[in-house]
Amino acid sequence: MSFLKKLTETVSKGVSTATEKAQQTVEITKLHTQISGKRKDIERRFAQIGEAVFEAYLKKDLSLAEGMVIPECEAIAGIRKEIAGLEDRIRELRNEKECECGQTVPYDTKFCPSCGRKFPEPVPVPVEVLPQEENEAKEEEPQSVVVDVEVKRVCEGCGTVLQPEVRFCPDCGRPAEN
């Protein structure tokens, strides 16, 4: 393959990745906007509930507020669910998921590094496989030899390199040694 062709391919690949990233950022921004709109809606409803309760208080009968307060509370509960769904979508776009303990971890993590909880097996996402046109494009990459002099914590169970803040191996769930 000519040098020029190779260069063009490399460039176009780079652009498509950058475009994807940009689209992802745009979508995440949109989701954040939707979330803050919904939060404002909730605040508005809270204020209305407060007013209704106060009016009822003035009339010395709090039950007068009930007819308004209950549907408003139900609406708020529904909006909160919508917000949770949007937050899930953001994590998905960022390729992350959230543990029940609140820790955000990469999507393919098997065990929470903070609390050790096992995640359900991730549902495989269908990946678009591009046909390999030219095998010659697969050039031998120079073997990069990683010389790491740092002493790293490694899981005794499976050998996974553990990050310093990790308390459980993210790959097998074994408690990490200190």
For the CB of residue 58, give the shortest distance to Zn ion in the complex, in Å: 48
Dist. CA 156–CA 174, nearest whole Å: 8
Looking at residues 87 to 146 of the shown chain, list those that interact with Zn ion (rule: CB under 5 A).
Answer: 99, 101, 103, 112, 114-115, 117
154 binds Zn ion (CB under 5 A): no
Q: Are 160 and 170 in contact (CB under 8 A)?
A: yes
> 34 or 109: whose CB is closer to Zn ion?
109
Structure tokens at 55: 């009016």
Under rule CB under 5 A, how many of the chain's residues touch Zn ion? 15
SS3 139: coil
Dist. CA 86–CA 173, nearest whole Å: 29
* Residue among 22, 77, 158, 161 that touches Zn ion (CB under 5 A): 158
Distance of alpha carbon 50 from alpha carbon 32, whole angstroms = 27
Which residues inside 4-43 make contact with Zn ion, applying CB under 5 A?
none
List residues near Zn ion by CB under 5 A: 99, 101, 103, 112, 114-115, 117, 155, 157-158, 160, 169, 171-172, 174
